[in-house]
Amino acid sequence: MEREAVDMFREMILAGFTKDQFTLGSVLTACGSLLALGEGKQIHAYVIRTDHKDNVFVGSALVDMYSKCKSIKSAEIVFERMTQKNVVSWTAMLVGYGQNGFSEEAVKIFFEMQRNGFELDDFTVGSVISSCANLASLEEGAQFHCQALVSGLISFITISNALVTLYGKCGSMEDSYQLFVEMNTRDEVSWTALLTAGLVEKGLQYFESKITEHGIIPIPDHYTCIIDLLGRARRLKEARNFINKMPCHPDVVGWATLLSSCRVQCDMEIGKWAADSLIKLEPQNPATYVLLSSLYAAKGKWNEVA
């Protein structure tokens, strides 16, 4: 799709069509996604020739393009020369610094952004927290955590993920796991953050301590969380043992979580067990049969797929 956008832009130039800020911004975004620095520079030259260089939309897209293409100095030059900047411009530069390993610069530009009175969003705050994680700067990161709480941005998954990573990288494992458990929704980044922080063992210990030391009775979601944690850590046999020791059977979500992990890891034995348990609970749910068929296909058992 991005390559098609760049090719179409070239055809528009040859055909003599007028290019506006949105066209230029879109093709620069495509160049960034393709890491097409050479073509991005050509479009930058076109921007200068056609007097679009002072357009804030185009300028922000240039900063983003150069940052993604690892040309951070060029991104800085464009940013510094922009006569107008908006929240997108500042965020593009902040994220660019973070993505290119210039975490200290990312934190500095965040404070400069605040001094200039720009309203911060979840993406901006999440980016600066990630930079603090890369610097292992717990004190500054904790300040941004407080800021996210006060502003209400803490509810965004981008910020929660960044905080899980921050506390994990800074060695504050319990805080990292607690934040993970309190998340209303989790995505692949959430789990990666948890696993990267080395929190599998800590998660299991934390789960046990809640029961034995604090007398808290786990709810089905807590059990599912541990099943998912073990599954993503490729510890499916431990997940099976954990389920067998549970005081009650997993719910539909718990079994589906295990089956999904088995499909990814092509574990037919445990996957079949999870699928059979799911079918007993919800025999009419087509998702179970789709996952099971996918598992059979991955193992090359085509007769079973049908």
147-to-92, 122, 164, 205, 228 alpha-carbon distances in Å: 21, 11, 16, 30, 31
Of the pLDDT bands very low, low, confident and very high (cuts 50, 70, 90), residue 299 is low
Q: How long, in residues, is the chain? A: 306
The one-letter code for the residue type at 289 is Y
**pLDDT tens digits, one per residue of 231-249:** 888 899 999 999 999 999 9
Mean of the pLDDT values across residues 168-191? 84
- Lowest mean per-residue pLDDT among 33-47, 85-99, 159-173: 159-173
Q: Does 192 or 152 have the greater pLDDT score?
A: 152
Q: Does 268 or 298 have the greater pLDDT score?
A: 268
Residue 107 neighbours by CB distance under 10 Å: 23
Predicted local distance difference test score (pLDDT) of residue 42: 94
**Backbone CA torsion sign across 204, 208, 213, 219:** positive
Percent of the chain exceeding pLDDT 90 equals 52
Of the pLDDT bands very low, low, confident and very high (cuts 50, 70, 90), residue 217 is confident
Residue 4 has pLDDT above 80, yes or no: yes
The Cα–Cα gap between 123 and 161 comes to: 11
The Cα–Cα gap between 24 and 282 comes to: 51
DSSP code at position 137? -
The Cα–Cα gap between 222 and 214 comes to: 15
Of the pLDDT bands very low, low, confident and very high (cuts 50, 70, 90), residue 137 is confident
The Cα–Cα gap between 186 and 183 comes to: 7
